[in-house]
Amino acid sequence: PWHGSNELALIVSDAGEVLAANPAFARKVGLTPETCLGRAAASWCPPEEKTAFTARLAALAAKPKAGTFDQRWQSVQGWLWIDWETTRVTGGLRLIGRDVSRHRLAEGHLAKLSQAVEQAPVGILLTSPTGHVQYMNAAYSDYSGFTLEDALESDLPILSEGHLSDASYRQFCATIAAGSVWQGTLHCPSKDGRLIWERVMVAPAMDAHGVVSHLLCIRENLTAQRE
């Protein structure tokens, strides 16, 4: 199992030197299992993290129970995030690693996307397929006066209110039901009763089975221009 495993595997001495390495680990760092032997495990860490990595290994080696940690690691593909599971063995630690770089990258992209949405100058909302608000950004709260708590407590008619005619609302419903993007103008009351003109785009988002899971609603406040 050690040699045939796709997971990275190392045996590291209490001093932090590699005692054994499986082929999966060796391929990841561009060496053979034999040429990994005797090297400091910290040699694959970023220079500024080597001391902390060595201290972490020493702390884990002093504990009888298994432990986990993640660490940036130099590979032939560049810097990767490896999630390590450690187990105390005779003479040192056994490290079993899994490449979680894609997950880390996805988390980073999600954080950037969340920041961009929150700082966007237009209103952005997420609703259920039936229009129940699940998220709204700061821009929408600022010009409408409504907060997410207001939406959750009062079930605001975000998508059904403000249509300029019954025909407009019917077209909106038919467009969304067909899984298409709807664009139009709404004239909705703010929290303090003022009427706000908005240019609105609503796009259905599908799950893996092709079913609408939520609606993305982008709203631009046109009140100043219209007035």
Task: Specify whether the CB–CB gap between 92 and 5 falls below 8 A.
Answer: no
59-63, 72-76, 117-121, 212-216: least confidently modelled range: 59-63
**pLDDT value at position 141?**
94
Tokens coding 214: 């939520």
How many other CB atoms sit within 10 Å of the CB of residue 187? Answer: 15
Q: What percent of the chain has pLDDT over 70?
A: 100
Q: Model confidence over 31-82: pLDDT tens digits?
A: 999 999 999 999 999 999 999 888 888 888 787 788 888 889 999 888 899 9
Displacement of CA 127 from its chain's centroid (Å): 19
pTM tops 0.75, yes or no: no
Q: Which of 194, 196, 171, 174 is nearest to 184 (CA)?
A: 171
> Is the pLDDT higher at 91 or at 25?
25
Q: Is the pLDDT of residue 211 over 90?
A: no
CA dist 214 and 203 (Å) reads 9
